[in-house]
Amino acid sequence: MTDVLLSSDTGGVRTLTLNRPHRKNAIDPELWKALRGALVGAAEDPTVRSLVLTGAGGAFSSGADLKAGTADTRHPLDKVRDLNEVAVLLHELPLPTVAKVTGVAVGAGWNLALGCDLVVATPESRFSQIFTRRGLSPDCGGSWLLPRLVGLQQAKRLALLAEMIDAEEARTLNLVTWVVPAEQIDGFVAELGERLASGPPVALAQTKALLHESGTLREALAAEARAQAVNFATADVPEAYAAFAEKREPHFTGRWYRQPPPEDTTCAKQ
């Protein structure tokens, strides 16, 4: 793992830390590449059950590093493709994800946080869709995420005016899940990551996909039926039933559950 992105595992929780504190974790091409590799690695590692994304040095991320971008001679579409790949990988990651936001999260940095399933911030956190102040429009999925989270009118306000808002307003707008004191956020997120990591991995992945892909009611019902068929093929369902009957906590593994075939009594009857 490159120095610009730190990775650590605690139990089934993997924490990825953006590590360019001297630039408030502005994301340069090297960090975009590292993020892409880290997300692919997390998706392919069966020991990883949940993922936390955070930043070093008291900031989450000040967005794409425009200064570093000027030294990148590739076509702008090639540069944006790096952002797009990371946004899709994060959105489609078959793991529950948590953004732990301290300090600023602006531009593409904020949209990375919004791409996570849950967002935890401190009262000191600040957020902005800063793009228009830079003569740009939203990227890293912001134009898709914002209207779905806050509605079209508030999304336009945030994107067009590029205002800086605080954590409490972000929570009121459903852009932050929890606001907790700075001295408590590490423990809060650690416990949250553990809770998610202890859940049924297949069912969590199916649930996340259903919520992301829901269309009409009929389409959602059909997708739910397919997802339940997948869930019933795991050992987690009988484990949950057994744990309920035995009044204990279930131990979920996501393991494929193969029932023995029914006994063939044809020969016995002959």
Reduce the DSSP state of residue 27 to 3 states and report it. Answer: strand
Give the long-range contacts of residues 229-233, CB within 8 A, separation 24 or more: 230/202, 230/206, 231/200, 231/202, 231/203, 231/206, 232/257, 233/257
Span 95-113, average pLDDT:
97
Give the long-range contacts of residues 221-226, CB within 8 A, separation 24 or more: none
**Is 205 found in the same domain as 142?**
no
Question: Which pLDDT score, from 0 to 100, does residue 67 have?
Answer: 80
Instruction: Choose among 200, 209, 138, 127: nearest CA to 170.
Output: 127
In a domain, 49, yes or no: yes
In a domain, 264, yes or no: no
Number of domains in the chain: 2
Q: Domain of 48: which CATH number?
A: 3.90.226.10
Q: Which residues are CB-contacts of 195 (< 8 A; sequence separation ≥ 6)? A: none
In a domain, 19, yes or no: yes
Instruction: Choose among 174, 189, 63, 185: nearest CA to 123.
Output: 185
Distances (CA, A) of 177 to 29, 50, 129, 241: 29, 17, 18, 30
- What CA–CA distance (Å, rounded) separates 152 from 160? 12
In a domain, 261, yes or no: no
Pairing relationship of beta strands 97-101 and 118-121 according to DSSP bridges: parallel
In a domain, 102, yes or no: yes
Q: Which pTM value belongs to this model? A: 0.91
Span 74-101, average pLDDT:
92
- What CA–CA distance (Å, rounded) separates 169 from 166? 6
pLDDT of 72 over the 80 cut: no
Span 71-88, average pLDDT:
85
**Is 84 found in the same domain as 40?**
yes
Q: What are phi and psi of 41, to 5 degrees?
A: -65, -40
Give the domain extent around 223: 201-246
In a domain, 260, yes or no: no
Pairing relationship of beta strands 5-10 and 13-18 according to DSSP bridges: antiparallel
The pLDDT tens digits for 157-191 are 999 999 999 999 999 999 999 999 999 999 999 99
**Per-residue pLDDT band at 266 (split at 50, 70, 90):** low
**Is 224 found in the same domain as 113?**
no
**Is 205 found in the same domain as 185?**
no
Which of the residue ranges 31-45, 86-100, 216-230 would you say has the lowest mean pLDDT?
Answer: 216-230
**Is 76 found in the same domain as 164?**
yes
